[in-house]
Structure 1
Amino acid sequence: MGNIADLKAELKKRSARATQAKMDLHDLAEDLPLNWQEINVVAERAQRAYADLTATRAALKAAEEKAEG
């Protein structure tokens, strides 16, 4: 990932994915014990989404700091 504009666009996409994953996990929890077999799949999806979001935030911060200095 390169420039700041690209990183900001990617951050927006990953933030939306993370929010959706969080809502999916919440919905699954509310419906328990139905679909308990899906806990790992939904939780792993949420974990990946938030890991990607965190990495993109760090990359954006580094790019912004580099551009300033």
Structure 2
Amino acid sequence: MVQLTSKTPTPEAVAELKTYIRRLNSKAGQMKMDLHDLAEGLPTDYQNLLEVATKTYDIFRELDQLNKQLKQWEEQLK
């Protein structure tokens, strides 16, 4: 994970964060589809529902935090 910081960012750090966010977005999309597929198949595999939902929540929460950090960094570099 990219380290969130309050220090003044560098253009390189912004580029690294953007790359990480792109990769995480791809993973988040796959997690969303996995959760959707699991939900459609209920009650089969209901035992996995909490685990998959928690992982999906965690990845989208991280994405939200990183996107806020990116926006803040880009504002600081203007």
TM norm structure 2:
0.82
1:4 deviates by 1.0
Q: Which has the higher helix share?
A: 1
Instruction: Supply the RMSD in Å over aligned alpha carbons.
Output: 1.0
**Sequence identity percentage:** 35
Alignment equivalent of 1:48, drawn from 49, 53, 58: 58
Structure 2: runs of 5+ lacking an equivalent: 4-8
Q: If the length of structure 1 is used for normalisation, what is the TM-score?
A: 0.92
Structure 1 runs (4+) deviating above 3 angstroms are none
Following superposition, the deviation at residue 17 of structure 1 comes to 1.3
Q: Quick one: distance in 2 between partners of 1:11 and 1:5?
A: 10
Q: 1:38 aligns with which of 44, 48, 51?
A: 48
Structure 1 unaligned spans of 5+: none
Structure 1 distance, partners of 2:32, 2:16, is: 24
For 1:60 and 1:37, locate their aligned partners in 2 and report how far apart those are by CA, in whole Å: 36
Task: Output one character per residue of 1:22-48: Cα deviation in whole Å (capped at 9) or x when no partner.
Answer: 001000011111000111000001001
Counterpart-to-counterpart distance in 1, 2:24 and 2:58: 10
Q: Which amino acid aligns with 2:55?
A: R
Matched, 1:4 2:22: no
